[in-house]
Structure 1
Amino acid sequence: MALIQVVRSEWTKVRSVTSTMWTLALAVVITIALGMLISALSNHEFDKMGEKERLSFDPTYISFAGMSLGQLAMIVFGVLVVSNEYGTGMIRTSLAAVPRRGTFLFSKIAVAAGLALVVGTITTFVAFFLGQSMLGPHRASIGDPHVLRAVIGGGLYMTLIAVFSMGVATMLRSSMLSLGILMPFFFLISNILGNVDATKKIGRFLPDQAGSKIMQVVTPVNDDSPYGPWGGLGIMALWVLAALVGGYAVLRERDA
């Protein structure tokens, strides 16, 4: 089957499953709404901040405060794009129609990643402008140094989160198992490792902590990470690549 036909088939699958589209919508709403709320609260509390807090005040990054929960929906999206077919048994039909498993996986990833990139980029731009409107005199401008990079980087971050989740789901072939690993990994393990002094040097190389640096314009006072914004995104991309390679290896070796 020609690649373009496989891509079209995957696009039909993604948009025809209600749950995947709802998770994307949820990612948009949560990221924007929570970002606006935190931005408004930050504006209200700015005068009460200490000198150290003001030096680390990053209006751009604050507008992405909703990303911590918005990425939850992107994880679910990535998992569902893959695991829905395993759950319904449609994976057998798909692989019978597309026996080249590399082509099958590439097409699925390309469609889901493209959709996540469009949604993620729109989300971060809207979150930025609405968040800045809540910050009043403390807001940043899209034309300020490094701000555009941070906004575009936010969309890339959301995309990589979704693709990483797809790679893990392809390896595990179960939505429950995939979410049971990914949720604690991002929302418990990563936070613990990143906030405990003894493990900070390890935590900073986890995908979410490294990747989120692309959204920072102001470097926190106590941040001694050995990489910059693009370096952090590069580390995250390596995690994504490893997950995809693992997913392809499992898909190639195991029966559907």
Structure 2
Amino acid sequence: MTAVQVIRSEWTKIRSVASTVWTLSLAVVVTIALGMLISALSRSQFDDMPARERLSFDPTYVSFAGMSLGQLAMIVFGVLVVSNEYSTGMIRTSLAAVPRRGTFLFSKIAVAGGLALVVGMATGFAAFFLGQAMLGSHRTQLGDPGVLRAVVGGGLYMTLIAVFSMGVAAMLRSPMLSLGILMPFFFLISNILGNVDATKKIGRFLPDQAGSRIMQVVPRIDDNPPYGPWGGLGIMALWVLAVLIGGYVLLKKRDA
């Protein structure tokens, strides 16, 4: 198969699996709905906030409050795209049709990553505009300094989360094992390491902690990471590159 044929084949696989469509849809709905809810609550409680919190209030970042749950759906999407073939045994057929394993893996990642990018960007802009509508007089505008960067960065962040999950799934092959590691890592462990004083210096370099900086417009008080918004996203991209290389190396070395 040529690279173009492999990409078409991977696109057909993704479209034909209902679970991948549902997980992407869930990522969109959860991110937008929760962002709107938190934005509405922030508007109603703004006057009661301590002065310190009002000074660091970030209307853009508030509209992305649903991203913490939406990214879990993107993780499931990334894992299922890669590991479904292992769980069903289709991987043997796929590798027989595409013996060049690098072409097979990166075509799959390119197609799924492109789809995640489209969904992530659409979700980012929708979450921003609807969240700002809920914030009322406390809203910000897309043309304000740093806002467009944060909105575009939100879409890139969701994409990188999905691709990171694909790399992990390529290494582990098992959907249950991959989700069993990724879910608690992003939902629990990373948040603890990133917010506890004793581990904050290490936690800020984890993929989600570093990457989420791109969505912040107003700096947090007493929080000065050694990198900027794009630097944080770059750190996240390095994590993604590392797991993709790991997935490729293991795919080359072992049997299907």
Is TM more than 0.5 here?
yes
Cα RMSD for the two superposed structures: 0.5
Distance in structure 2 (CA, Å) of the matches to 1:155 and 1:21: 18
User: Which residue is 1:201 aligned to?
Assistant: 201
Letter in 2 for 1:153: G
How big is each residue's C-alpha offset from its partner over 1:94-115, in whole Å with a ceiling of 9 and x where there is no partner?
Answer: 0000000000011000000000
C-alpha displacement at 1:197, in angstroms?
0.6
Asked if residue 107 in structure 1 is aligned to residue 107 in structure 2, the reply is yes
Deviation at 1:49, TM superposition (A): 1.0
SS at match of 2:75: helix
| TM-score, normalised relative to structure 1 | 0.99
1:230 paired residue number: 230
Amino acid at match of 1:136: G
Secondary structure of the corresponding residue to residue 199 of structure 2: helix
Separation in 2, partners of 1:195, 1:230:
21
The alignment partner of 1:198 has SS state of: coil
Letter in 1 for 2:63: S
SS at match of 1:217: coil
- Stretch of structure 1 that moved more, 74-83 or 215-224: 215-224
Cα deviations by residue, 1:64-107 (Å, 9 ceiling, x for unpaired): 00000000000000000001000000000000000000000110
Residues in 2 aligned to 1:5 and 1:158: alpha-carbon distance in whole angstroms: 27
The CA distance in 2 between the partners of 1:55 and 1:105, in whole Å, is 47
Aligned residue for 1:144, secondary structure, equals coil
- 1:161 shift after superposition: 0.2
In the TM superposition, residue 8 of structure 1 has moved relative to its aligned partner by: 0.2
Aligned ranges 1:134-173 → 2 under 5 Å: 134-173=134-173
Counterpart code for 2:228: G
Please tell me whether residue 175 in structure 1 is matched to residue 175 in structure 2.
Answer: yes
| 1:133 aligned partner, one-letter code | A
CA distance in structure 1 between the aligned counterparts of 2:107 and 2:239, rounded to whole angstroms: 20
Question: Structure 1 residue 50: deviation in Å?
Answer: 1.3
Query: Equivalent pairs: percent with the same residue?
Result: 82
Superimposed CA distance per residue, residues 175-218 of structure 1 (whole angstroms, 9 cap, x where no aligned partner): 00000000111111101111111000000000000000000000
Deviation per residue, 1:139-163 (Å, 9 max, x gap): 0000101100000000000000000
In the TM superposition, residue 51 of structure 1 has moved relative to its aligned partner by 1.4
- Residue 132 of structure 1 deviates from its aligned partner by 0.1
What does residue 128 of structure 1 align with? Answer: 128
CA distance in 2, matches of 1:45, 1:244: 43
Aligned residue identity for 1:122: A
Q: TM-score, normalised by structure 2?
A: 0.99
Q: Deviations over 1:212-244 (max 9, x none)?
A: 000000010121100000000000000000000
Question: Is residue 48 of structure 1 aligned with residue 48 of structure 2?
Answer: yes
Mapped partners of 1:6, 1:87: distance in 2: 20
The CA distance in 1 between the partners of 2:49 and 2:37, in whole Å, is 18
Alignment correspondent of 2:94: 94
Give the partner amino acid of 1:29: V
Equivalent position SS for 1:197: coil
Q: Which runs of 4+ in 1 moved over 3 A?
A: none
Aligned residue type for 1:58: D
